[in-house]
Amino acid sequence: MKAPLSWLKEYVDIDISAEALQEKLFSCGFEVEELIFLGKDVTNVVVGKIMKCEKHPDADRLTVCTVDCGDHGVKQICTAATNVFEGAAVPCALDGATVLHEGGIQKIKTGKLRGVTSEGMFCSGQELGINDDFYPGAEFDGILILEEGVPLGADIRPIVGIDDWVFDIAVTANRPDCQSIYGIAREVAAILKKPLRAFGVSYERQETEVAISVEVEAPTLCPRYVGHYVKGVKLKESPLWMKRRLALLGIRSINNIVDITNYVLLELGQPMHAFDRSFLRGDKIVVRCAKSGEKITTLDKKEFTLRSENLMICDGEGPVALAGIMGGLDSEIKDSTTEVFFEAAKFARDSVRKTSRALGQRSDSSARFEKGVDAFTPEIAMDRALHLVYELGCGIPTTYRADACADPLAPHTVTASYEAINSLLGIEVPKAEVNAILQRLEFDIADMGATFTVTVPYFRDDVEGWPDLAEEVIRSYGYEHIEPTFLKEASVTHGGLTSQQKEELHFKQTLAGEGYFEALGYSFYSPKDFDLLRLPAEASERRAVTLKNPLGEDLSVMRTTLTPTMLANVVRNVRRGNDSGRLFELANVYLAAELPLKDLPEERKHVSIALWGEGDFFDLKGAIEAIAEAFALKFSYVRGTKPFLHPGATALIKLGEKEVGWMGELHPTVAEELALEKAVYLAELDYALLSKKFRKGIGYRPISKFPTVKRDLAVVVEEKVTCAELEACILRACKAAKRAELFDVYRDARIGEGKKSMAFRITFEPDRAAEKPLSPETVDGFFHKIVGNLKHNLGAELR
Amino acid sequence: MEATENIVLEAQEEAQGAESSRALYEIKMKFLGRTGKVTALLKGMREIPANERPAFGKKVNDIREKLEALFAALEERMKEKELAEKLAGEEIDVTMPARRHQKGALHPITRTKSELIDIFAGMGFEVFEGPEIENEYYNFTALNTPADHPARDMQDTFYITEEFLLRTQTSAGQIRLMEKKKPPIKMLSPGKVFRSDDDATHSPMFHQMEGLVVDKNITMCDLQGMLNEFARTMFAESSKTRLRPSYFPFTEPSVEVDVSCTACGGKGCSLCKGTGWIEVLGAGMVNRHVLENCGVDPDEYTGFAFGMGIERIAMLKYGINHIRSFTENDVRFLEEFKD
C-alpha cells in the first residue's frame, strides 16, 4: 500500500520526519518496504521568467534567453525548445542541478552552446518526472510553461507537487483496513498519540422521483450493496489536488465522477462503481450469479462468456458489471452522462478472486475485494463520495438510496481479562497502558474490572478474540518489553531423532564415507523423463501424480523414481567440466494407489546412486556392499534388464527373494542422447524395503578362541558359471567355511576356449564352542569336500 | 710359532678389507670354519710333542678368542654400515601426494538440518515428519486458514486435485502430531515444502523447519528465550533476536524474528542492508483455533510455534549466495561441505 505523507497529514498532525515515521511504523507491524522522496532526483531547479528571447548568432535552432530567477539572479540560458516566449515562467535547472533524463539522472552545468554561454537548462514535464495530472501541460513535448504568478526563484518541486514522501507499506493479510490511506492514518495517529481528523461526509440532497431498485439474489456473495442516485451530473476535469493525489498512487485522472470513485477507493479502501443511469434498463439492479453462457463486454472492451459461479451486477435485462471486478462498457460514464447510480458494496473475497482468476481479468477493485472489505464501509464510502460530488459541484446527490444488507449490522464484542493478556505475553503490561493502547486503536472498553468487554471497531474484522487484543497491546507497547525466559514452567520432555531418522542419517553417512556426495533434487520433473528412460507405456513409473498448476511441463509430475533427477545431475556436472563424480540422493517417491488421487499417495523413500568418469560397475557395487555391511544386509545380485541400462551390465539387487533395486551401466544409446561420452553407472534401491531389514544395533557374538585358517583354491569352470554360484557352493559345502573371496580370474589358451580359472581365498573358522583348534587334517577334509562339491555341482576342475 | 702369530695379523688384515657381511663371513670361515686355519692348527696338535701341547693348545685358543672377538666387532660394524646404506637407499619424497580413499559429504541442507535438530533436541524437542503431499485440511483449514482466507494467497500453492496439494509449510505437521499426542509437546517438523514461485531468490521446492511447544503457562517471553538460545548456538555467542509484529493465521500474536547480523554483528553492513538485523524466521503464540482443531483445550494450554527456511539459515551460515546452488548438485559445490 502506497501512502503519500502529504495525504496522511490531512488526517494527522505528523510532527516527525518521514524516516522517523518509517521506524515507528516498522515496530508496529507495518514494514515500509520503500520510502521514496518524489523530488529526490530533481534538484536546484527553480522558477524563472523569460525576459528576453534572441536568436543565437551561430545556430538557427537555438534561442538565447535572459531569465530572471529571482534570488538566484538573472541567467542566460540557451534552448532549442520552440515553445518559449518572452514573459513565460518556466522551470530552470541551474548550474549543478539534476533532472530526470531517459530513465536516468542528468547533471546540468554551465557551458557554452556554439560559443554562447548557457547557465542552465529549461525543463520539460518529463525531466521533472511528472505528467499532466501533477501539472497541466507537463506532457507537452517542449518546455513546461508555468502558470502566471508563480514566485520567481522558488524551488520547482512544491509547485509541481513532487516535494512529497511516499511510503510503500507491506500490509499483512489480516489488516485489509490498512489497504487505504485513512487506515494507515489511523495507525499513524495511534502511534503518534495524536487525534485522527474525520473526513467530510456531509452533502445536501434533492428530492427525486427516480427509484432504482436493488435486489441481491446471492446474499452470501454480496452481503451488502449500497446504491445512490445522483442527478445533474456535470462531467469535467477534477481539481488539481485530486488529480495529484491519484497521480501519486499511479492512477490517471479520467473525469470528476470516475476520479471520485478512485479517490474513495484509495482513501477508504472501498471500491466503488458509477453507472450511467440512463443505460440501466428497467431502473433495476440485480446482483446474481451469471447464467451459463451469458456474455458481458467490460469497459476495457474485452468480451467474456460467463459461468454460473461468476457473480454479476445486472440491470433489468442483463449483466452490466462483473461484480467487484469491472463495469460493463455500455453503462460506463461517458461525456453524455447526466445521471449516475453509484455502487459501494461488499463482495465475498473468494468469489471475486475465483471469477477474477478464471476470467483473467483484474483491477484495482478486484485486488481490493480479494483482501476483504468490511460490511460497514460501503455506506460510509458512499457518503464520502457524495460529499465530494457535492463539494466539487459535479452533480446533485438525491434522496434516493438503496441499501441491501444480508445480516443486521452490529459491531462485535470481545471479552478479555488483563490477566489472560499478560499471561500470554509473559510480562505485566499496566492496566492503564492496556486501556490506553486499545482506546487509541478505537476499541471501546466497557467495565474495566478484571475482565472487560471491548467493542471492536467496525473496520477490524480480523479481531476475533482476546489473543488479538494481546497482539494489539504488545505491538503498541513494544516487543522490546518482552523479557526472554527459558520455558520456566514447561515440563521436561525427551528430545531427539527417532531410530528411523537416525538410521537415515547413518545411511547417508555410510555413502558419504564411500566417497559419494549427497545430492538434492526437486520432487517433480517432466513426463518426458520417462521417455528418456525408454519406459514402456504400461510401466508403473508412468503412473505419476500430476500437478494441476505446475510451473511448466518440466516440473509437472511427482517423482516415481529418482533416476531421471540423478541423470540430470550427471549431465549438468559433465557439462560444467566435472569429468568424474559420485552422487547419491535419498528422497521420497510418490506412489498413487489410484489416479486421480482419492487418498494421500504413499511417500516411499528411495536411494539413487551414480558414479561417472572414474570407477566402474564394481566400484558402484562397493557402495551398495558398504550399505550391506553397515546395516547387516545380505544382498544378492542377479543378472537383469532395464530398458535404460546396458543389457550386459545390469543387476537386480535382491534381499532374500525380494527384489529391492537395480544397478548397472547407462545404456549407450541413452548416454549418446545425453551427450555423455564416458560410462555412467547408476543404482536405485527401495530404501523403505531395506530399512525394514536393517539390523537394530550391534549383534555381538563371542569369537572363537582359536585362530582362523586360510586356504587358496583355484578352479577352472565354464564361462557361464558365475562367481556367486561358486561362492555359494563353497560356503554350502562346509559350515566352517565363513568366507570365500575371489582374488583372481584368469583366462588363456591352456585353460581352454570358453573357460576361466577363478581363485578364491577361503577362510575357515573353528566353531565358537570348539575345544580345540582346526587341525590341518580337518581343513584338508573340508577342502576335499569343497572340491568335490564344486566338481559335482558346477563342473569345476581343480587347477 | 711365528706362523701362528701371523695368523692373527693375517686375519686382521683380510677382515679389515672385507666390503660386505658376506665377504666378512667368508673370511671368518677361512680362519675359524671347519676347514679354517685355526682349526687346522688344532688338527696339527698331534704332530707336536706332548710336553708342548698344553702351551700350544693355550696359544691356539687365545688366537681363536682373539679372532672371534675381532670378527664379532667387525660384524657389528658391518651390520650398522649396511643398514645405514640400505636406509639411505630407501629415502622417499615425503611431499609426494597421499594415497587415500576419497570421502564424500552430506548436502549442506542435511548438515544444517542436523545442526538445527541437535540444538533443539538438546532442549527436549522430538522430530516429527509429516507427508509432503497434504490435503487442504492439514495444510490450511486446521491451521486457521479457511478457503476464503486471504492468507491462502500469501503462498502460491501447487494443487494436485481440489483436495490434495503439495504442502506449502511444515506447519501442517503440527496438526498431525497434536492429533496423536497430547501436551506437553516439544516438536520439530523439518522437511520439503513447495510454492509455485520460481525466480532468482525463490525456488519452487525448499526446506522448512517448524517448531512447536505446547504446555501449561507458555509465554511470549519463553518464545524469545528459546530463540535467543537458538541464535546463540547456531550463529554466534553474541547473537541477539528482535521480535516485530507480523501475521500468520495459525499464531496470535505473530512475530517476525530478526537475528543480529551474522556478518557485522549488528553494526550495519551490506548483508543486513545497514539495519544490523537479518530476518530469519516467523513465530508466534499458537492460535486458539488451532489448538481447538486438534482437541487441545486452549484455556488449559498455550504454546508457541516458529518456522524457518533451512536454505536461508544455510545461506547465512555458510555465505551461500544463490538458492539455486542447492539443487544444481555441482560436485564442486558439494565438495565444499566435506569434513
Q: What's the number of domains chain B is made of? A: 2
User: Which of B52, B87, B122 is the endpoint of a domain?
Assistant: B87
Test B132 with A603 for CB contact under 8 angstroms.
yes
Would you tell me how many other CB atoms lie within 10 Å of the CB of residue B61?
12
Among the listed residues B227, B304, B221, the one whose alpha carbon sits nearest the alpha carbon of residue A427: B221
Q: Is A550 touching B (CB cutoff 8 A)? A: yes
Given this model, what pLDDT does residue A60 score?
87
Given this model, what pLDDT does residue B154 score?
57
Test A495 with B332 for CB contact under 8 angstroms.
no
Both B62 and B192 in a single domain?
no
DSSP state of A295: E
Tell whether B179 is covered by a domain: yes
Given this model, what pLDDT does residue B60 score?
85
Q: What is the mean pLDDT of residues A578-597?
A: 95
When the pLDDT of each residue in chain A is averaged and rounded to a whole number, the result is 94
DSSP A139-187: TSSSPPPBPTTPPTT-BHHHHHT---EEEEEE--TT-GGGSSHHHHHHH
Q: How confident is the model at residue A161 (pLDDT cuts 50, 70, 90)?
A: very high
Both B59 and B192 in a single domain?
no
Q: How confident is the model at residue B9 (pLDDT cuts 50, 70, 90)?
A: confident
- Whether the predicted pLDDT of B2 surpasses 60: no
Contact of B86 with A499, CB cutoff 8 Å:
no
Test A555 with B224 for CB contact under 8 angstroms.
no
Would you tell me how many other CB atoms lie within 10 Å of the CB of residue A540?
10
List, as ranges, residues 44-63 from B with C-beta within 8 Å of A.
none
Q: Which of A60-64, A398-402, A511-515 has the least mean pLDDT?
A: A60-64
Instruction: With beta carbons under 8 A apart, name residues in chain A contacting B134.
Output: 600
- Whether the predicted pLDDT of A366 surpasses 60: yes
Both B147 and B39 in a single domain?
no
Expressed as residue numbers, the domain containing B259 is 108-337
Tell whether B99 is covered by a domain: no
Q: Which of A511-520, B197-206, B293-302 has the least mean pLDDT?
A: B197-206
Q: How confident is the model at residue A695 (pLDDT cuts 50, 70, 90)?
A: confident
| Chain A residue nearest residue B186, CA to CA | A493
Q: Distance between CA atoms of A222 and A225, rounded to whole angstroms?
A: 7
Both B142 and B193 in a single domain?
yes
The per-residue pLDDT for range B73-96, each reduced to its tens digit, is 999 999 998 899 888 888 888 888
Q: Distance between CA atoms of A606 and A589, rounded to whole angstroms?
A: 7
Q: How confident is the model at residue B17 (pLDDT cuts 50, 70, 90)?
A: confident
**Contacts with B3 (C-beta within 8 Å, 6 or more apart), sequence order:** none
Among the listed residues A630, A644, A639, the one whose alpha carbon sits nearest the alpha carbon of residue A659: A639
Q: Distance between CA atoms of A668 and A671, rounded to whole angstroms?
A: 5
Q: Which of B222, B228, B287, B306 is best to mutate for the A interface (most A CBs within 10 A)?
A: B222
Q: How confident is the model at residue A322 (pLDDT cuts 50, 70, 90)?
A: very high
List, as ranges, residues 26-65 from A with C-beta within 8 Å of B.
26-29
CATH (domain of B320): 3.30.930.10
Q: Distance between CA atoms of A492 and A503, rounded to whole angstroms?
A: 26
The per-residue pLDDT for range B40-75, each reduced to its tens digit, is 888 888 888 888 888 888 888 888 888 899 899 999
Q: Name the residue with higher pLDDT: A544 or A487.
A: A544
Given this model, what pLDDT does residue B150 score?
66
Instruction: Report phi then psi at B71, rounded to 5.
Output: -65, -40
Lateral strand order in the sheet of A2-4: A2-4, A165-170, A31-37
Contact of B258 with B283, CB cutoff 8 Å:
no
User: Residue B227 in 3-state DSSP?
Assistant: helix
Both B78 and B152 in a single domain?
no
- For A501, which of B127, B132, B218 is closest by C-beta distance? B127
Helices and strands counted in chain B (H then E)? 12, 9
Tell whether B97 is covered by a domain: no
pLDDT above 90 covers what percent of chain A?
90
Query: Tell me, what amino acid is at B192?
Result: K
Given this model, what pLDDT does residue B19 score?
87
The per-residue pLDDT for range A54-95, each reduced to its tens digit, is 999 988 899 999 999 999 999 999 999 999 999 999 999 999
Query: Tell me, what amino acid is at B181?
Result: K
**Contacts with A241 (C-beta within 8 Å, 6 or more apart), sequence order:** none
The per-residue pLDDT for range A754-765, each reduced to its tens digit, is 999 999 999 999
Tell whether B154 is covered by a domain: yes
Both B151 and B245 in a single domain?
yes
Instruction: Report phi then psi at A115, rounded to 5.
Output: 90, -5
What is the distance in angstroms between the Cα of A379 and the nearest Cα belonging to chain B?
23
Q: Is A336 touching B (CB cutoff 8 A)? A: no
Test A493 with B184 for CB contact under 8 angstroms.
yes
DSSP state of A317: S
Both B62 and B118 in a single domain?
no
- Whether the predicted pLDDT of B165 surpasses 80: yes
Grid coordinates given for B78: 658391518
Among the listed residues A572, A587, A655, A580, the one whose alpha carbon sits nearest the alpha carbon of residue A620: A580
| ipTM score | 0.86
User: Which of B53, B87, B121 is the endpoint of a domain?
Assistant: B87
Given this model, what pLDDT does residue B280 score?
92
Both B83 and B141 in a single domain?
no
Among the listed residues A479, A436, A370, the one whose alpha carbon sits nearest the alpha carbon of residue B151: A370
The per-residue pLDDT for range A266-306, each reduced to its tens digit, is 999 999 999 999 999 999 999 999 998 999 999 999 999 99
Q: Tell me the three-class secondary structure of A22-89, residue by residue.
A: HHHHHHCCCEEEEEEECCCCCEEEEEEEEEEEEECCCCCCCEEEEEECHHHCEEEEEECCCCCCCCCE
Given this model, what pLDDT does residue B151 score?
64
Grid coordinates given for A791: 566338481
Both B83 and B202 in a single domain?
no
Q: How confident is the model at residue B3 (pLDDT cuts 50, 70, 90)?
A: low
User: Residue A245 in 3-state DSSP?
Assistant: helix
List, as ranges, residues 222-261 from B with C-beta within 8 Å of A.
222, 224-226, 228-229, 242-247, 249, 252-255
The HSE-up count of residue A586 (CA atoms within 13 Å, CB side) is 23
Grid coordinates given for B188: 520439530
Q: Chains A, B: CB contacts under 8 A, how many?
A: 251
Q: Counting beta carbons within 10 angstroms of the beta carbon of residue B127, is it exposed (0 to 12), middle (13 to 18) or buried (19 or more)? A: buried
pLDDT above 70 covers what percent of chain A?
100
The per-residue pLDDT for range A588-646, each reduced to its tens digit, is 999 999 989 999 999 999 999 999 999 999 999 999 999 999 999 999 999 999 999 99
Both B64 and B186 in a single domain?
no
Place of cell 463495469: A327
Test A517 with B105 for CB contact under 8 angstroms.
yes
Both B184 and B240 in a single domain?
yes
Tell whether B92 is covered by a domain: no
Grid coordinates given for B321: 549466495
Tell whether B93 is covered by a domain: no
Both B74 and B141 in a single domain?
no
What is the distance in angstroms between the Cα of A28 and the nearest Cα belonging to chain B?
6
Instruction: Report phi then psi at A155, rounded to 5.
Output: -55, 130
Tell whether B216 is covered by a domain: yes
Test B107 with A519 for CB contact under 8 angstroms.
yes
Beta strands in A635-746 (DSSP E): 635-639, 645-655, 658-666, 680-686, 709-718, 737-746
Tell whether B94 is covered by a domain: no
DSSP state of B152: G
Q: A2 - beta bridge partners?
A: A168
- Whether the predicted pLDDT of B1 surpasses 60: no
Instruction: With beta carbons under 8 A apart, name residues in chain B contacting A548.
Output: 158-161
Given this model, what pLDDT does residue A102 score?
87
Beta strands in A687-735 (DSSP E): 709-718
Q: How confident is the model at residue B197 (pLDDT cuts 50, 70, 90)?
A: confident
Instruction: With beta carbons under 8 A apart, name residues in chain A contacting B105.
Output: 512, 517-518
